[in-house]
Structure 1
């Protein structure tokens, strides 16, 4: 998995420099930006990514950037910073997926706890994405008939019922079902149903 990266977005040059210095002292790779626009223009590496984001900045503010990233389909764990937090702002940010909302002045301990939380979420998300990519690659290698049997089995139907629907023998269904299980390295129906759900496989109507 690529190295986790922290991006600090704050128009306050002094605070921005302090945050970078603090985070680097904990051995976190850090990049800093003076505005939301500068961050959006930057070429960012793939991998776990945490944003430490000032909520009030000239031009696009923190919530604007959060909304734009969501529109672009770029999921990032965000820690918001504000000099005058309000409950409505906090609720809005958290509803949109923010990890933490820190009111200035905050302590080093509060910030680092939030960073650890954000990075834990990021690595879990990236791991899930990698798992999904691996499962999709395995699914793509199934034959058309195996994909058909896969979908029917995932509905929980018995082999005999599937055989009748597909107009083949029950033995044929058992063979294809076993091949699907072997290709995914699984042994139970519950595992197969979980994979179908994770891949968003469209299942036949019962």
Structure 2
């Protein structure tokens, strides 16, 4: 029995599975490759526990559909989403459905390892939703009402321009509030701010719609 952590790579491109697999094996992980979400779902009841590294854009069944199917079957393995075509609405949908993090291809080794370690931390963590919500609310208490309004819009998957229109302010002002709230929450990436927002129950009343700002909205230090 090995103590190495297991990563299930789900991607329809063999070259991607091969390159990521090599990267992970040389970093001390074990790897199980799956050519499609359907292949994983077929054997998911018997797979060894680990983290799922799941591609979004796949034929027949995309990553979000696979994520939903896993949830319906009661599979609680942590999921890290990877995509080459992501936008903020896709990222929000994945995180609201329980994804630990999301990565845009091509990604650096450090980003991949960081996301996976966060996923494995979820396996080890035993804190309940109430504790997470209380912790999140404690952090959100540092925000002004307007900063919280902006974060609520982001949690709904709305682009800056839509948030600005809804709040009756300029898009530039939204950017300023967004930068300030991330500073106050002590986060560098929007994904971390969203994680806090979701833990506090923000963004739950509206389904995320198509965003028009692209994945740059979920990259560190871009405000």
TM-score (norm 2): 0.53
Aligned partner of 2:110 in structure 1 is 109
- State how 1:109-188 maps to structure 2 within 5 Å: 109-125=110-126
CA distance in 2, matches of 1:88, 1:63: 12
Aligned partner of 2:66 in structure 1 is 65
1:79 pairs with 2:70? no
Render the CA deviation track for 1:149-186: whole Å, top value 9, x for unaligned: xxxxxxxxxxxxxxxxxxxxxxxxxxxxxxxxxxxxxx
State the shift of 1:27 in Å: 1.6
State the shift of 1:84 in Å: 1.3
8 Å contact kept, 1:54–1:80: yes
Render the CA deviation track for 1:18-60: whole Å, top value 9, x for unaligned: 111111111211100110011112354443x211110010111
Give the structure with the higher percent helix.
1
Indicate the SS of the match to 1:80: strand
CA distance in 2, matches of 1:108, 1:80: 15
CA distance in 2, matches of 1:81, 1:121: 18
CA distance in 2, matches of 1:20, 1:91: 26
Indicate the SS of the match to 1:11: coil
| Cα separation, partners in 2 of 1:75 and 1:57, compared to 1, 3 Å | same
Indicate the SS of the match to 1:91: helix
Indicate the SS of the match to 1:7: strand
TM-score (norm 1): 0.57
Aligned partner of 2:11 in structure 1 is 10
Q: Structure 2: state its 5+ residue gaps.
A: 129-223
Indicate the SS of the match to 1:105: coil
- Which has the higher relative contact order, 1 or 2, with Cα contacts under 8 A spaced 6 or more apart? 2
State the shift of 1:123 in Å: 2.3
State the shift of 1:2 in Å: 8.6
Q: Structure 1: state its 5+ residue gaps.
A: 129-206
CA distance in 2, matches of 1:11, 1:79: 16
Indicate the SS of the match to 2:125: helix
CA distance in 1, matches of 2:62, 2:123: 23
8 Å contact kept, 1:2–1:46: no
Render the CA deviation track for 1:117-151: whole Å, top value 9, x for unaligned: 111111225x99xxxxxxxxxxxxxxxxxxxxxxx
> How many residues matched?
126
CA distance in 2, matches of 1:16, 1:58: 16
